[in-house]
């Protein structure tokens, strides 16, 4: 029972840290897939004034972030791609069939910035920041629901009160700006702003040429937009790599917290060790008396019982490590997209905590054994 | 060898004081074979426990080979028990999960002797008690007499000066008892000082000296 208790404790540490690490790996992987050379420009500025009225703490009322603002950023040479983004939702119709679809209004750069792929066709051909022919690309779910077995490419799709010609089908799965790529209709940004009668962009996504230039690009963006917005810094520029690093740190702390909580169970196992050892001392009194009679010193008796406690907790910990790693391997096979990988420190720390538990909770029984009166112990009286 | 001077051992039992040993003076010389007899509660086992440094006197002195043991700490007494005193118990006190050889080896493990030396001494000790062929047997696989012989081998493996035996034949049949008595007498003839607490009159008769205790006092001390 003691071995099982300790092994469950260690196994819990391994499994929980594997889950935490897997979550961290998944999230950071998603960020890495999107590219770490990404900056996002968001309308509105969040700032604190270090005291003062609540109004001062609220976001500064933003001016519209416009396509023209996006165009103005072309002067920054370190920028590789600029993709202004508008989002909304509206009914899409084809041949009597209708479904409400999420809309992304953008430019062809969006494909590179978001690292999307096309299943067939072209992504917004002929569209630039300045030109917006009525074209669109659709997700596979939109294709199957509105076009069925008919070929979608080349067809005219009614989107809200606008029409656009389907030029491609999106191949990528997953989400961008919170929208499922399989369910979306992507159209030129100017068409979308007109469709929703909304001059302001949702975001501007920017891909830098090089990571080391990102901080300078961020400063340049703020400078240019501030100048265009009458000297008001009413945008927020987020570096994707900073966000990823923040998530990384958060998940690291979360994983450690999970491991620590699981480690509490090892102290419970330690209390079990203490109880078992106290019973052992009681049952082995005659043996302890004999050892003293044949010359064992008090500290030798002490060490004997501490060693037994360490062996018990160590064996349980090793069993727990084997079980924990075996279960994570099984989980990896069952859920291949999620990388269940317990961090190395989890194995060392759980083993160490188990051993320390054994020593700490073995101390009382060991001391009791060492202090036993040999005459009483040998007589069998308690 | 052994010198007790005005030795007392008292126990507090509730509000009463039990005088287990009361002003005992006793000298035991080297190589003597001494039997201690008396009715139950006379103080025999208490005397033996004090001689074996398992218990400490309330007052008086116990000199062992000229050294006053009353000034010794626990570790010093443990060292004396390990090197100079051998114990034989009525109920053998063998460790059931160890073999005969491992039981005999225990005092040497505690003393820190190296494995090679331990092996040699175990073989000699078991040969001395004619149990070489039972060295791998566990206590449950041995008869009462054989178990006591293992216990005797354990008690002499460190070549002590004194052998203390507390009712060594108390749990044995008559045939085994005779074997054990003969064995420990041989040890005495080999130079060991022997002190035996016994109810066995035959054993008492065969010893060099018979001491009788009553109510914690020596009432008779006769050479045989």
DSSP codes joined into one string, A215-279 = HHHHHHHHHHHHHHTTT---EEEEEHHHHHHHHHHHHHHHHHHHHHHHHHHHHHHHHHHHHHHHH
User: For position A56, what pLDDT does the model report?
Assistant: 42
Record: contact A378-B110, CB cut-off 8 A: no
Q: What is the pLDDT of residues A286-297, one digit of tens each?
A: 899 999 999 999
The proportion of chain A whose per-residue pLDDT surpasses 70, expressed as a percent, equals 93
Question: Quick one: A207 and A129 in the same domain?
Answer: yes
Question: What are the structure tokens assigned to A185, written together?
Answer: 């209709």
Question: Quick one: A87 and A24 in the same domain?
Answer: no
In a domain, A50, yes or no: no
* Closest Cβ opposite residue A286 in set B54, B74, B93: B93
Residue A8 has pLDDT above 80, yes or no: yes
Residue B74 forms contact with A (CB below 8 Å): yes
Q: What is the pLDDT of residues B132-176, one digit of tens each?
A: 999 999 999 999 999 999 999 999 999 999 999 999 888 888 888
Give A-chain residues touching B139 at CB under 8 angstroms. none
Separation of alpha carbons B110 and A350, rounded Å: 33
Strands laid side by side in the B193-197 sheet: B85-88, B162-166, B193-197, B33-38, B209-214, B217-223
Record: contact A295-B111, CB cut-off 8 A: yes
Question: Quick one: A82 and A135 in the same domain?
Answer: yes
Distance from CA of A376 to the nearest CA of B (A): 10
Give B-chain residues touching A295 at CB under 8 angstroms. 78-79, 81-83, 107, 110-111, 158
In a domain, A232, yes or no: no
The sign of the torsion formed by the CA atoms of B135, B140, B142, B144 equals: positive
A55 falls in which pLDDT band (50, 70, 90)? very low
A54 falls in which pLDDT band (50, 70, 90)? very low
Residue B95 forms contact with A (CB below 8 Å): yes
Record: contact A293-B55, CB cut-off 8 A: no
User: For position A354, what pLDDT does the model report?
Assistant: 87
* Closest Cβ opposite residue A295 in set B89, B93, B110: B110
In a domain, A54, yes or no: no
Residue B156 forms contact with A (CB below 8 Å): no
How many beta-carbon pairs below 8 A join chains A and B? 53
- Span A106-122, mean pLDDT? 89
Residue B77 forms contact with A (CB below 8 Å): no
Q: Is the pTM of this model over 0.90?
A: no
C-alpha radius of gyration, chain A, whole number:
33
Domain total for chain A?
A: 2
Q: What is the pLDDT of residues A175-225, one digit of tens each?
A: 766 778 899 999 999 999 999 988 889 999 999 998 889 999 999 999 999
Question: Quick one: A18 and A94 in the same domain?
Answer: no
Spatial contact of A378 and B93, defined as CB atoms under 8 Å apart: yes
Q: What is the pLDDT of residues A224-263, one digit of tens each?
A: 999 999 888 889 999 888 878 888 888 888 888 888 888 8
Record: contact B110-A298, CB cut-off 8 A: no
A50 falls in which pLDDT band (50, 70, 90)? very low
Residue A376 forms contact with B (CB below 8 Å): no
CATH of domain B2-223: 3.40.50.300
* Closest Cβ opposite residue B110 in set A286, A300, A374: A300
In a domain, A231, yes or no: no
Interface test with B, best of A284, A288, A294 (most B CBs within 10 A): A294
A381 falls in which pLDDT band (50, 70, 90)? low
- Span A339-362, mean pLDDT? 87
In a domain, A313, yes or no: yes
Range of the domain at A161: 64-211
Structure ipTM: 0.89
Spatial contact of B161 and B82, defined as CB atoms under 8 Å apart: no
Strands B2-13 and B67-68: unpaired
Question: Quick one: A200 and A71 in the same domain?
Answer: yes
Q: What is the pLDDT of residues A153-162, one digit of tens each?
A: 999 999 999 9
Q: Residue A92 — left, alpha, or beta (φ > 0 → left; ψ -120 to 50 → alpha)?
A: beta
Residue ranges in chain B whose pLDDT is less than 50: none
Question: Quick one: A70 and A20 in the same domain?
Answer: no
Q: What is the pLDDT of residues A60-92, one digit of tens each?
A: 455 788 989 999 999 999 999 999 999 999 999
Distance from CA of A282 to the nearest CA of B (A): 15
Residue A136 has pLDDT above 50, yes or no: yes
| 3-state per-residue secondary structure call for chain B | CEEEEEEEEEEEECCEEEEEEEEEEEEECCCCEEEEEECCCCCHHHHHHHHCCCCCCCEEEEEECCEEHHHCCHHHHHHHHHHCEEEECCCCCCCCCCCHHHHHHHHHHHHCCCHHHHHHHHHHHHHHCCCHHHCCCCHHHCCHHHHHHHHHHHHHCCCCCEEEEECCCCCCCHHHHHHHHHHHHHHHHCCCEEEEECCCHHHHHHCCEEEEEECCEEEEEEEC
Residue B49 forms contact with A (CB below 8 Å): yes
Question: Quick one: A69 and A206 in the same domain?
Answer: yes
Q: At A125, phi and psi to the nearest 5?
A: -65, 140
DSSP code of residue A77:
T
Give A-chain residues touching B107 at CB under 8 angstroms. 294-295
Residue A53 has pLDDT above 60, yes or no: no
Count of C-beta atoms within a 10 Å radius of residue A303: 14
Q: With the CA atoms of A273, A279, A283 and A285 taken in that order, what torsion angle do they form, in degrees rounded to the nearest 10? A: 80
Separation of alpha carbons A31 and A23, rounded Å: 12
Domain locations in chain B as residue ranges: 2-223
Separation of alpha carbons B167 and B153, rounded Å: 16
């Amino acid at each position: 029972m003691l071995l099982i208790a300790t092994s469950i404790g260690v196994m819990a540490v391994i499994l929980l840290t594997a889950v935490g690490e897997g979550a961290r790996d998944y999230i950071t992987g998603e960020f890495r897939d999107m590219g770490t050379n990404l900056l996002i420009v968001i309308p509105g500025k969040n700032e604190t004034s270090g005291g003062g009225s609540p109004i001062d703490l609220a976001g500064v009322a933003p001016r519209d972030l416009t396509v023209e603002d996006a165009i103005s950023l072309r002067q920054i040479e370190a920028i590789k791609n600029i993709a202004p983004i508008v989002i909304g939702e509206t009914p899409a119709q084809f041949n009597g069939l209708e479904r409400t679809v999420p809309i992304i209004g953008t430019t062809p750069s969006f494909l590179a910035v978001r690292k999307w792929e096309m299943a067939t066709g072209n992504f917004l051909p002929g569209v630039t920041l300045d030109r917006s022919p009525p074209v669109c690309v659709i997700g596979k779910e939109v294709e199957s629901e509105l076009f069925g077995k008919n070929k979608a490419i080349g067809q005219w799709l009614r989107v809200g009160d606008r029409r656009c010609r389907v030029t491609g089908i999106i191949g990528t799965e997953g989400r961008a700006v919170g929208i499922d790529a399989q369910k979306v209709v992507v159209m030129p940004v100017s068409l979308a702003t007109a469709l929703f009668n909304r001059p302001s962009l949702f975001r501007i996504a920017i891909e830098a040429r090089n990571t080391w230039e990102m901080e300078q690009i961020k400063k340049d963006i703020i400078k240019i937009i501030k100048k265009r917005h009458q000297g008001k810094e009413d945008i927020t520029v987020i570096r994707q790599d900073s966000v990823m690093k923040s998530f990384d740190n958060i998940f690291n702390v979360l994983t450690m917290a999970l491991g620590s909580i699981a480690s509490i169970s090892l102290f419970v196992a330690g209390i079990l060790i203490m109880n078992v050892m106290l019973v052992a001392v009681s049952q082995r009194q005659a043996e302890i008396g004999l050892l003293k009679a044949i010359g064992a010193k008090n500290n030798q008796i002490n060490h004997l019982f501490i060693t037994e406690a360490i062996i018990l907790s160590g064996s349980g910990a090793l069993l727990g490590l084997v079980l924990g790693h075996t279960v994570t391997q099984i989980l990896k096979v069952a859920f291949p997209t999620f990388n269940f990988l317990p961090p190395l420190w989890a194995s060392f720390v759980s083993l160490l905590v188990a051993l320390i538990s054994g020593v700490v909770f073995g101390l009382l029984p060991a001391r009791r054994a060492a202090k036993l009166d040999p005459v009483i112990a040998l007589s069998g009286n308690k | 060898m052994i010198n007790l001077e005005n030795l007392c051992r008292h126990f507090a039992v509730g509000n009463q004081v039990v005088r287990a040993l009361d002003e005992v003076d006793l000298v035991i010389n080297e190589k003597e074979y001494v039997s201690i007899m008396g009715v139950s509660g006379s103080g025999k086992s208490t005397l033996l426990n004090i001689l074996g440094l398992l218990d400490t006197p309330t007052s008086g002195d116990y000199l062992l080979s000229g050294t006053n043991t009353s000034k010794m700490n626990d570790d010093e007494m443990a060292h004396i028990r390990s090197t100079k005193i051998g114990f034989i118990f009525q109920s053998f006190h063998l460790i059931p999960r160890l073999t005969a050889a491992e039981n005999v080896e225990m005092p040497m493990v505690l003393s820190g002797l190296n494995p090679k030396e331990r092996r040699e001494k175990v073989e000699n000790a078991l040969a001395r008690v004619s149990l070489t062929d039972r060295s791998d047997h566990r206590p449950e696989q041995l008869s009462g007499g054989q178990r006591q012989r293992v216990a005797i081998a354990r008690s002499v493996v460190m070549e002590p000066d004194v052998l203390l035996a507390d009712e060594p034949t108390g749990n044995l049949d008559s045939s085994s008892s005779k074997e054990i008595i003969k064995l420990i007498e041989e040890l005495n003839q080999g130079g060991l000082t022997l002190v035996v607490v016994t109810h066995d009159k035959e054993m008492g008769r065969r010893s060099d000296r018979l001491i009788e205790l009553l109510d914690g006092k020596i009432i008779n001390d006769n050479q045989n």
